[in-house]
Amino acid sequence: MNTSFVNNIARILKSRITRNVIFWLFTLWVVLNSNNQKDFAPIYFLFLSITTSLMLALTYINNLLIVPKLLQKRKYIIYTGAFLLHVSLISLSYVLVLKWGLNYIPVEHIQDVSFISGNISDKWTFDVIISEMSTYFFGFIMWLVIFTMAWYTRDYENKEKEIEIVKQKQTELELNFLKSQLNPHFLFNTLNNLYALALKQSEHTPESILKLSSLLRYLLYDTKTAYNDFEKEKELMLAYIDLELLRIEDPSDLHFNIETDKPCSIPPLLWLPVIENAFKYGTRYIADRYFISFEFTISQNILTIISKNKYNPTTAVSSENVSGGIGLMNLQKRLTLLFLEKHVVKINNEAEFFTIDIKIQLN
């Protein structure tokens, strides 16, 4: 069976209109199966249709007009008057319809065409009509109290859904904003590297520009989705590492480990601020020997990012050097939006090493 057809049917069955139709059909079924009249004459169904219409008017004028227009807006005095007038008019109409029905239906069966039963006589005096109205009046008030509570419950659920949608859209906007900050930041640092290679007239400059082109292509077209395939991210990581290694003469103490225990998808570019920070500070301030250890692994649905690099405490005195700069701050904001309390970020700068340890519980 067509999946879209099944989804459409499921959506229709869950709709508010469908639930209301099912409720009234079930109520009618109860009335029909609880009455004592065996011979269902056409006149019986006529009066049952009229009393049902009155119940529908009682319910939906209250829930669609009086409650949202008056009660919800805290117009309590006007609401009370409108509510009592509405119930009185329906009660009067109900009694008059049932009295009229006595011309066609015996008094012992008149309750069979009514949702709410009460004493009905064939007398049309004012006192008798008011007395008979009171039974239906208080019964209808109890009926509307239940439906008003149902209306408020539904209204609360709708507002909660609206708030959730707004929060989701806000989160998406914030994530897109952080990613838009990340890409120029990455481009700025990479262009600085290319500039350094060009000054040295390095033979690796053309290759670096080609790698940068592939990276930018990925950033433009493959980071708009919420999740990307791990292998794509790994390919980009390796390309970025190769780009950085082109300017380093001795990469023997630069170690990288990128692996997963199963195929999976991850948010794009979570690794970039970490490895960018490691190259930025781990290869700038050390005069004798560079050192970087970078791990990006997924095991048992836990993503681990660990980066350790040497840095010079005497030159890393600014808050940017201690915290890792704009890239890492953006990453922490992004992790908070994406994973809430399902992640831990630890940043240490002890002795001559700067360490970042991130663990994320993937969904």
The pLDDT score that the predictor gives to residue 297 is 95
% pLDDT > 90, the chain: 15
Q: How confident is the model at residue 322 (pLDDT cuts 50, 70, 90)?
A: very low
Of the segments 110-114, 301-305, 325-329, 340-344, which one has the largest average pLDDT value? 301-305
Mean pLDDT across 343-360: 88
The pLDDT score that the predictor gives to residue 255 is 92
Task: Please count the other Cβ atoms lying within 10 Å of the Cβ belonging to residue 253.
Answer: 14
**What is the 8-class DSSP label of residue 122?**
S
The pLDDT score that the predictor gives to residue 260 is 94
What's this model's pTM, rounded to 2 decimal places? 0.52
Q: How confident is the model at residue 320 (pLDDT cuts 50, 70, 90)?
A: very low
Q: How confident is the model at residue 11 (pLDDT cuts 50, 70, 90)?
A: low
pLDDT at 221 over 80: no
Q: How far is it, in rounded angstroms, from Cα 110 to Cα 98? A: 7
**What are the E-state strand segments in the chain?**
228-229, 254-260, 265-266, 292-299, 302-310, 343-350, 353-361
Which tokens sit at 9? 């049917």
Give which of 356, 216, 249, 221 is closest to 296, Cα–Cα.
356
pLDDT at 12 over 90: no
Q: How confident is the model at residue 319 (pLDDT cuts 50, 70, 90)?
A: very low
Mean pLDDT across 173-196: 65
The pLDDT score that the predictor gives to residue 193 is 73
Q: How confident is the model at residue 321 (pLDDT cuts 50, 70, 90)?
A: very low
pLDDT at 318 over 50: no
Q: How confident is the model at residue 81 (pLDDT cuts 50, 70, 90)?
A: very high
Domains of the chain: 3-163 (no CATH), 202-361 (3.30.565.10)
